[in-house]
Amino acid sequence: MSAFIEQLPTLLGVAVGALGSYLAIVRGDRARFRRERTAHWEERRLSLYADYARALKRTVSLTYRVASHLGNDPHPHPLSPEEAAPHMAEALDARDPVGEALLMLGSPDVVDRARQWVVAVMEMERFLETRVRDPDAWADLLNRQRAARERYYVAVRGDLALPPGHSGRWILEPPPPGS
């Protein structure tokens, strides 16, 4: 019996060591699982945010072309409202499922900014339905849409903890004289 008692501290040390190793491994696995899950959903949200922006931008591009046809925008490829109608319907159909996914996965701030952007785009669409020629009113709508888009991207970057990015406003310089 005395041999067992002499070995008891060693056995307890092995048992405590084994238990400690097990707990450290379990804790490390849980932490890795949480990190991987967070990374997975951040990747999904980034993809979703980009898909939503592309879907909405498709509508915006079509509105530029129709506005050009109506004399409100300098877009180089005008498109009549009749020619644009099926493309606008496709763009709307593509936008709806992405918008629903955005409601499920997006942060409240990003969803709110997305709503503001889509409302600005819808105002552009309503303006074009009137078939009015008013380049100044169109320019105001464009500025509001661009500001809403910029706020959406700022919210996306904030949600994903990305550094600040470009505003997306491209200033086109006139060609130098003699070019």
- Over the stretch 84-136, which tens digit does the pLDDT of each residue have? 999 999 999 999 999 999 999 999 999 999 999 999 999 999 999 999 999 99
- Interatomic CA distance for residues 157 and 113, integer angstroms: 12
DSSP letter assigned to residue 80: -
pLDDT, residue 27, reads 82
Q: Is residue 170 pLDDT above 80, yes or no?
A: no
Q: Kindly indicate the confidence band of residue 2, based on its pLDDT and cuts at 50, 70 and 90.
A: confident
pLDDT, residue 24, reads 80
Q: Is residue 160 pLDDT above 70, yes or no?
A: yes
pTM reported for the whole predicted model = 0.77
Q: Is residue 76 pLDDT above 90, yes or no?
A: yes
Integer CA distances (angstroms), 30 to 25, 33, 34, 37, 127, in order: 9, 5, 6, 10, 54
pLDDT, residue 39, reads 67
Q: What is the pLDDT of residues 20-50, one digit of tens each?
A: 887 788 787 787 767 767 666 889 999 999 9
pLDDT, residue 10, reads 80
pLDDT, residue 172, reads 66
pLDDT, residue 159, reads 94
pLDDT, residue 14, reads 77
